[in-house]
Amino acid sequence: MDFSLTPEQRQIRDMVAEFVDEEVVPRAADIDATDEFPEDLVAEMGDLGLMGMPFPEEYGGAGLDYHSYAIGLEEISRGSGGLGTVVAAHTSLAGNMVYEFGTEAQREEYLTPLAEGTDVGAFALSEAGAGSDVPAMETRARKDGDEYVIDGNKLWISNGSVADTIVLFAKTDPEAGSKGISSFVVRPDEDPGFHVEGTEDKLGDKGCPTAELRFDGMRIPEDRRLGEEGRGFVQALKTLNGGRITIAARGVGIARAAFEAARQYAGDREQFDQPIAEFQTIQHKLADMDTKIQAAKMLMHRAADLKMRDERFIKEAAQAKLYASEVSREVANEGIQIHGGYGYTKDFPAERFYRDAKLNEIYEGTSEVLRNTIADQVLD
């Protein structure tokens, strides 16, 4: 299987890398310190076509294949883990839900501004008591004429406080378990009863606001439902499966940033009258770090390849996300170790890479849940 980049993919990689090096990397530390949503950078990414990479041009997207999308997100995450989450939640989750399950009219009205980057998207699935256990959600959507009345709360919603379009999951039939969940398009500025309760003060992933949302008798028209009633759980699983490829890309990007910083530091830092890169212990650390990154990239592209071929990729996406998530944390940890005491300070970005990497093992399927998923597929 040939995963060498095509000329177009190399062009995409180089274009995104240049943007990241010139615009994102110089501001990454400030974004991390202030935890402010970088609205201007998101707008620039929209202008460059990076907010709708995998969507067809007819809906305002860039029409890129999934390899190119993963490569682009990897580069963005190399510059800022938080910005990587902004794009992943916006594109892989919110945008993809509308693209896969929306009507033509819904795609034109809601997907096009998302793909063009004029709107920001969010995906509201998790609740305080319903993270991995999605069917335990308590948010309700009650039909009333040609409208739905929605009451409930959502937690851990990336982009939730800044989104123009939110894909929301709620129970339309509370007695039907997972078969009673439906999905809807919510427009915060248009829908009375929508409230942002606040945003989380997180360990890392700064610049991507993670919000708690409340819906108090929020009324939305029936034509905002995505697909049939009761199909929301299946839609969410399919969407999250594809999204795991992009979280793998985020993990690879952060790991690359941690590795490159550690390699640079090892060449510059001297002890015992020589650069520490001359010591075999440091060389072995760098060798292991790079080997793990390359393996994670291969798993990521293997899953992307199957998705593009429209073949089953549940196991492969779970493996890519699981391995890249753990590799990003391991590589970031070794990066701190190579920096020594400086790695534990904010004078160097090594500690930021570690904080950003840890999230990969938690969201869009914890490592524990992914191991269950992989085992189910292996034993099926």
pTM: 0.97
Query: Burial of 228 by CB count in 10 Å (0-12 exposed, 13-18 middle, 19+ buried)?
Result: exposed
Residue span(s) of the chain under CATH 1.10.540.10 come to 7-120
- Give the per-residue SS3 of 297-343: HHHHHHHHHHHHCCCCCHHHHHHHHHHHHHHHHHHHHHHHHHHHHHH
Residue span(s) of the chain under CATH 2.40.110.10 come to 122-229
Residue span(s) of the chain under CATH 1.20.140.10 come to 233-379
Q: How far apart are CA 366 and CA 235, in angstroms?
A: 19
Q: Pick the catalytic residue: 147, 270, 364, 368?
A: 364
Q: Which residues of 262-297 are buried (b: 16+ CB within 10 A; e: fewer)?
A: bbebbeeeeeeeeebbeeeebeebbeebbebbeebb
The CATH code for residues 122-229 is: 2.40.110.10
Q: How far apart are CA 84 and CA 254, in angstroms?
A: 9
Render each residue's pLDDT in the chain as its tens digit; 380 residues.
Answer: 667 899 999 999 999 999 999 999 999 999 999 999 999 999 999 999 999 999 999 999 999 999 999 999 999 999 999 999 999 999 999 999 999 999 999 999 999 999 999 999 999 999 999 999 999 999 999 999 999 999 999 999 999 999 999 999 999 999 999 999 999 999 999 999 999 999 999 999 999 999 999 999 999 999 999 999 999 999 999 999 999 999 999 999 999 999 999 999 999 999 999 999 999 999 999 999 999 999 999 999 999 999 999 999 999 999 999 999 999 999 999 999 999 999 999 999 999 999 999 999 999 999 999 999 999 999 98
Chain centre distance of CA 368: 18
Query: Burial of 366 by CB count in 10 Å (0-12 exposed, 13-18 middle, 19+ buried)?
Result: middle
Q: How far apart are CA 357 and CA 85, in angstroms?
A: 11
| 108 included as an active-site residue | no
What's the CATH superfamily of 233-379? Butyryl-CoA Dehydrogenase, subunit A, domain 3 (1.20.140.10)
pLDDT digit string (tens) for 50-93? 999 999 999 999 999 999 999 999 999 999 999 999 999 999 99
Q: Which CATH class is domain 7-120?
A: mainly alpha
pLDDT digit string (tens) for 86-138? 999 999 999 999 999 999 999 999 999 999 999 999 999 999 999 999 999 99
The confidence score (pLDDT) of residue 1 equals 60
